[in-house]
Structure 1
Amino acid sequence: MAKLKITLVKSTNKLKEAQAATVKALGLKKIGSCVEQQDNPQIRGMIKKVEHVLSVEEI
Structure 2
Amino acid sequence: MARVRITQVRSIIDRPQTQKNAIKSLGLGKINRSIELDYNSAIAGVVNKVKHLVKIEEI
Same fold (TM over 0.5): yes
Count of aligned residue pairs for this structure pair: 59
TM-score (norm 1): 0.95
TM-score by length of 2: 0.95
- Return 5+ residue gaps in structure 2 as ranges: none
Matched-pair identity in %? 39
Which stretches of structure 1, 4 residues or longer, exceed 2 Å deviation after superposition?
A: none
Match of 2:5 in 1: 5
CA distances 1:1-20 after superposition (whole Å, capped 9, x unpaired): 21110000000011100110
